[in-house]
Amino acid sequence: MADRNIPEINAGSMADIAFLLLIFWLVTTTMDKDLGLSFRLPQDVHPPSDWIPPEVKDRNVLNIILNSNDQVLIEKEKHLLSDVTSFVQDFYLSNDDNMPIRMRVTEAQIADTLGKLAALVIQAEQNASTKAQWYQVSRYNSHIKEWEAYKESRNLLGDFTIMSKRAVIRFQSNNGTSYKAYFSVLDQISTVLKDERNKLAEKHFNMTFDHLMKLKDTDPTVRNKIRAIRHQLPLKLLEPDPNNF
């Protein structure tokens, strides 16, 4: 039999086709995002060397310890991991004597505090000569801005309650703590705060705090509402470096 001539396949355009398929894949494919946990880091401040920090009362601190065996100690007593929620709820909502110090923000309280701070600034500026004294002046001015923000929040919420600035949930983990137990504690803390913020936002603004957060980039008017909710229900979490206890 005579040899048959097999026609060659023209592969000259295969590279172009592959390139077009690659572009199509890049345009149409969505990548998963690792959302993680959203925390606002504290500001980096540099007080003078002779500045003495204020004393923190025990009632202002909720101590949660997670050891290498994933056992949780709350206020030095053993508890179940699931008990963290109830303790965090009490931390934010309870008015018992062993809970963080709270203060009622009223119209009279705001006016009185702003007046006293203004007088302190004038007096401090007249007598300021050292770095520590000027640092105190800057602290008074920061407090004035803070109380002016409270004034705006009160216009939205009415009289409301703020926690002591020294109130904190101190969550101490261990280098041997499992990820599951570690994130279980963090999840309970964040869930309590999320739920309470949503309730407060629905009460005053007829929408959840989560919905307010979605609108903040497109509707600037919701930013003061978000700040007002955070004034009453701030994130109070301190995480020291893990240790080996």
| pLDDT reported for residue 238 | 87
pLDDT for res 165: 87
Residue 148 lies in a domain: yes
**77 belongs to a structural domain:** no
Strand, helix or coil at 42? coil
CA–CA dist 172, 240 (Å, integer) = 6
Assigned domain for 130 exists:
yes
In a domain, 30, yes or no: no
Which of these, 171, 1, 6, lies nearest to 73 by C-alpha position?
171
DSSP 21-76: HHHHHHHH-----------PPPP-----TT--PPPPPGGGEEEEEE-TTS-EEETT
> Which pTM was predicted?
0.74
> Is residue 86 included in any domain, yes or no?
no
β-strand partners of 220? none
Please check whether residue 228 lies inside any domain of the structure.
no
Q: What is the pLDDT of residue 59?
A: 85
Structural domain containing residue 149: 102-163
118 contacts 144 by C-beta, under 8 angstroms: yes
| pLDDT given for residue 20 in this prediction | 83
Q: What is the number of structural domains in the chain?
A: 1
Residue 146 covered by a domain: yes
- From the list 75, 157, 150, 57, the residue with the least C-alpha distance to 108 is 150
Instruction: Kindly give the residue spans of alpha helices, DSSP state H, lying in the chain.
Output: 14-28, 84-93, 107-127, 131-157, 179-205, 209-215, 223-232
Q: Is 218 helix (H, G, I), strand (E, B) or coil?
A: coil
Domain-embedded: residue 144: yes
As averages over each run of 10 residues, the pLDDT of the chain (245 residues) reads: 61 73 80 56 62 68 92 92 93 88 94 94 86 86 94 95 91 90 93 95 95 90 94 91 71
